[in-house]
């Protein structure tokens, strides 16, 4: 962490109360919660760059009795073996399975793979969560220096 800077923020009272309640439930100080919010927003903006390195989790729920879906999912994962870090397969009940995959690559590559997997016929539900691998602080720092003299 770099040097700390203090600044004032004006918020509507009800918004501040809701934020403080969230902080209390999570057991985190207001300043740390605010840092987390800022990092998350900066990370989401970085995800707009298709070349930014990301890690992600793809979750698929499917009926394993659906013909050849498990085999098709496995084949797609093998084709992208360099992006699929790990998988976990869970039997939810007699018919439904939950499969999670840890993925790594560029935002574009991982998103395209996730889309191919989740659009497979027979997938009942899916979710995908991506996060940048590069730290927001180092990205912002490098970005700042690339605009020297323009401040």
pLDDT at 54: 96
pLDDT band, very low/low/confident/very high, at 70 (cuts 50, 70, 90): confident
Per-residue pLDDT of 110-127, as tens digits, reads 999 999 999 988 899 999
Domain boundary assignment for the chain:
13-46, 53-132
Q: What pTM, to 2 d.p., does this model score? A: 0.74
Distance, C-alpha 115 to centroid of its chain: 14
Which superfamily does CATH assign the domain made up of 53-132 to?
A: ACT-like. Chain A, domain 2 (3.30.70.1150)
Q: Where are the beta strands (DSSP E) in the chain?
A: 53-63, 84-91, 96-106, 123-132
Query: Which H helix or E strand runs over 31?
Result: helix 30-46
Tell me: pLDDT of 107 over 50. Answer: yes
């Amino acid at each position: 962490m770099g040097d700390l800077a203090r600044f004032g923020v004006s918020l509507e009272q009800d918004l501040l109360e809701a934020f403080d309640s969230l902080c209390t439930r999570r057991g985190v100080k207001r300043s740390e919660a605010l840092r987390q919010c800022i990092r998350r927003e900066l990370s989401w903006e970085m995800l707009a760059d298709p070349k930014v390195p990301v890690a992600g989790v793809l979750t698929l729920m499917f009926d394993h009795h659906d013909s050849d879906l498990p085999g098709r999912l496995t084949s797609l994962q093998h084709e992208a073996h360099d992006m699929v870090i790990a998988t976990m397969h869970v039997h939810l009940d007699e018919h439904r399975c939950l499969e999670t995959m840890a993925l790594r690559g560029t935002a574009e590559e991982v998103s395209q793979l996730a889309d191919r997997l989740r659009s497979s016929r027979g997938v009942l539900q899916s979710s995908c969560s991506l996060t940048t691998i590069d730290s927001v602080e180092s990205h912002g720092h490098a970005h700042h220096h690339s605009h020297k003299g323009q401040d």
